[in-house]
């Protein structure tokens, strides 16, 4: 369990490296930015998080406001 917690903690604030074959450009984007885009593209039945602690906090606030 501690190993998986360490993995998620390391992913917070991390970059995802990209390469565009059409434009021959290299770039990077933060993992959290991609998660924010994914979470904004649907009706919020499923939310995505980089950290297990964030997921659990969201669940608690969701259930409290339900």
pTM of the predicted model, to two decimals? 0.59
Other C-beta atoms lying within 10 Å of the C-beta of residue 51: 14
Nearest to 31 by CA among 45, 17, 52: 17
Other C-beta atoms lying within 10 Å of the C-beta of residue 49: 17
Q: What sign has the CA pseudo-torsion 24, 26, 32, 33?
A: negative
Tell me the residue range of the domain where 15 lies.
2-65
The string of pLDDT tens digits covering residues 9-64 is: 556 678 888 898 999 999 999 988 888 888 888 777 888 888 889 999 999 999 99
Q: Give the count of domains, the chain.
A: 1
């Amino acid at each position: 369990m501690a190993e998986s917690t360490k993995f998620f903690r390391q992913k917070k604030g991390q970059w995802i490296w990209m390469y565009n074959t059409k434009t021959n450009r290299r770039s990077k984007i933060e993992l959290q930015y991609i998660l924010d885009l994914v979470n904004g593209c649907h009706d919020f039945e499923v939310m995505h998080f980089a950290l297990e602690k964030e997921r659990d906090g969201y669940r608690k606030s969701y259930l409290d406001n339900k």
